[in-house]
Amino acid sequence: MSALNLDDFSDLIERPDGGVRRDAEAHRERLAVPPGALGRLDELGEWLAAAQGSVPVRAVTRARVVLFAGDHGVAELGVSARPAGGATALVRQVLEGASPAAVLARRLDVPVRVVDMALDCEPDALPADVVRHRVRRGSGRIDIEDALTPEEAEAAFRAGMAVADEEADAGTDLVVLGDVSVGGTTAAAVLVAALCGTDASVVTGRGGQAIDDLAWMRKCAAIRDALRRARPVLGDQLQLLATVGGADLAAITGFLLQSAVRKLPVILDGVVSAACALVGQRVAFRAPDWWLAGQNSGEPGQAKALDRMALEPLLSHGVTVGESAGALLALPLVQAAAALAAELPERSPSPEEKPE
């Protein structure tokens, strides 16, 4: 296996086609509905056209939910309302169709794919197609030790890239991205604080199930301690993910960057996917042009990361449950934008515009 050089992504990732976007804007000017009347849906339709390289834009018909799963050792400190090692139960709920994301995906007729990267369970406890990319069982406690070895971080990153290639090759035209984890928001907050140069208290939120004040203080202390370990490795994004991330976060980062290489648009969910996107931006500054922020979850770390990437959330419903549930709520908006851009009739030309 050749060495992984993250600098290659800067050369491989191109922005969505600017010429196509200008054509889409010109097409919008000719529609019967006045410019601006559809609000942000106009912008979304033009973004999709540029991402697809097509005017008029094509309908989004093959969207897919992709969830990366893992347990985080830092959860042992009581930083989450869920028990340490409890992500396996959450994954089972998704697979059984009983989680919020599974319900929404079923309603929207979108298939769900779960990728186990570091769940704290035996591999045979879950279906083979879920566990085939697993790197390890659980992760190190990031306040006192590395989450992963360098070799594990690279393996997880490459797994994320492989999943992106699999989705692109299968004809997926939009990914709704999320995570299933316990302790993942703590690791994500460390990444955001490190990359934005802020203190732990600025990025510490209440997590997927709102924690009480004592748990919040424990979480803040864990982020503060992990942040001290993160700062010395800020110049090496893969080492940063190994030090204070986790296999699921490394995989999400690899997935996001390879999706941008493959020109596959992605809707981000909450603070975990936003933190990984922020790492991805450090690797390749053009990559965020391929991503949409599905929702504002209310997590301060997410808001900080999205602001740094200049991504404005499509919705603000404060959905913190994870599993891409908030991002799934934004999918109908994207599909509506595509339909309107493609199907609205052009206005009849005025006498002044008619050719002689």
User: What residues are annotated to the active site?
Assistant: 323
| Residue whose pair of structure tokens reads 């997926």 in the numeric block | 172
User: Could you tell me whether strands 291-293 and 174-182 are parallel, antiparallel, or unpaired per DSSP bridges?
Assistant: unpaired
Determine the 3-state secondary structure of 286 from DSSP.
coil
Contact between 140 and 30 (Cβ < 8 Å): no
Cβ-Cβ contacts under 8 Å for 239 (sequence gap 6 or more): 150, 153, 233
Residue 149's CB: how many other CB atoms inside 10 A? Answer: 13
| Residue whose pair of structure tokens reads 């959905």 in the numeric block | 319
Residue 147's CB: how many other CB atoms inside 10 A? Answer: 32
User: Could you tell me whether strands 174-182 and 112-118 are parallel, antiparallel, or unpaired per DSSP bridges?
Assistant: unpaired
Where residue 322 falls (left for φ over 0; alpha for ψ -120 to 50; beta otherwise) is left
Cβ-Cβ contacts under 8 Å for 318 (sequence gap 6 or more): 296, 297, 298
The beta strand positions in the chain, using DSSP E, are: 63-71, 112-118, 174-182, 266-268, 291-293
CA 310 vs CA 160, 281, 285, 292, 298: distances in Å: 24, 11, 12, 10, 17
Contact between 117 and 251 (Cβ < 8 Å): yes
